[in-house]
Chain A
Amino acid sequence: AQTVTQSQPEMSVQEAETVTLSCTYDTSESDYYLFWYKQPPSRQMILVIRQEAYKQQNATENRFSVNFQKAAKSFSLKISDSQLGDAAMYFCAYRSVFNQGGKLIFGQGTELSVKP
């Protein structure tokens, strides 16, 4: 069974600085999808960025980028020029290509605080 691990329960960053959130996963599959979701205090989870495992190029969405290391089974999220609105719980998630039901497997989450 696949698992996702986020080893940093809490992280803090100064406004305008860069922070990296870690995520590792365990799978025997060669193709899959990885996601980062953000959950602000208002509770709704919002997709931040996604990565297909067959793509070598790291995904980027504006200030958000990932460092996808397939061999190491690592999928970290880098937030550049951090803003106060980035403060939230961040979840890493895995989805199997072979899973027809669409199940997402989540990590424990990392709570990010942004200091002004």
Chain B
Amino acid sequence: EPEVTQTPSHQVTQMGQEVILRCVPISNHLYFYWYRQILGQKVEFLVSFYNNEISEKSEIFDDQFSVERPDGSNFTLKIRSTKLEDSAMYFCASSEWEEGNQPQHFGDGTRLSIL
């Protein structure tokens, strides 16, 4: 069964550095998402992306965050100047259609640790 894949599984970065988290969505999916989960807290929506544009973003997704689909397969989340509070598990997801009952398929996540 097709899967969403995320790399790396664990990223350790110094505060203030830029980090790029990578995702390969399922190949025929058109809608892409990033969520994060700070340890012990809820999974939170960051951003959704369709047709090379952001569809929706949360309050968390401020100017230090950006997303890109640089080619036909990858979907990336960039954090420009990381802060300690960016430490979290970041999940990428994709769905085939935008219809509300369509399931979002999640990757295994990238654990981001900011030192």
- A102–B105 Cα gap in the complex (Å)? 12
- Which of these binds chain A: B12-20, B64-72, B79-87, B95-103? B95-103
Chain B: number of interface residues, binned into ranges: 20 to 34
Given contacts A43-B108, A43-B109, A102-B56, are A109 and B45 in contact (CB under 8 A)?
no
- Is B107 at the interface (CB under 8 A from chain A)? yes
- A82–B87 Cα gap in the complex (Å)? 35
**Most interface-central of B42, B44, B55, B107 (chain A CB within 10 A):** B42
- Is B75 at the interface (CB under 8 A from chain A)? no
Contacts of B43 in A (CB 8 A): 45, 91, 104, 106, 109
Tell me, rounded to whole Å, the shortest Cβ–Cβ distance linking B96 to chain A.
11
Chain A residue at minimum C-beta to C-beta distance from B47: A101
Given contacts A101-B55, A106-B42, are A50 and B48 in contact (CB under 8 A)?
no
Chain A residue at minimum C-beta to C-beta distance from B89: A43
Given contacts A35-B103, A43-B109, are A103 and B42 in contact (CB under 8 A)?
no
- A46–B45 Cα gap in the complex (Å)? 17
Inter-chain contact A52/B101, CB cutoff 8 Å = yes
Size of the A side of the interface (Cβ < 8 Å), in residues, is: 27
Cβ contact of B45, chosen from A47, A50, A104, cutoff 8 A: A104
- Which of these binds chain B: A17-25, A63-71, A72-80, A92-100? A92-100
Given contacts A45-B91, A50-B101, A50-B103, are A102 and B33 in contact (CB under 8 A)?
yes
Inter-chain contact A100/B91, CB cutoff 8 Å = no
Cβ contact of B108, chosen from A37, A42, A105, A106, cutoff 8 A: A42
Inter-chain contact B104/A102, CB cutoff 8 Å = yes
- A100–B33 Cα gap in the complex (Å)? 13
Taking A101-B57, A103-B48 as given, write out 11 further A-B residue pairs in contact, using a Cβ cutoff of 8 Å, ordered by the A residue number.
Answer: A42-B108, A43-B89, A43-B108, A45-B43, A45-B91, A95-B100, A99-B56, A100-B55, A102-B31, A103-B45, A106-B44
Write the residues of chain B forming the contact surface with A, with a CB cutoff of 8 angstroms: 3, 31, 33, 35, 41-45, 48, 55-58, 89, 91, 95, 98, 100-101, 103-109
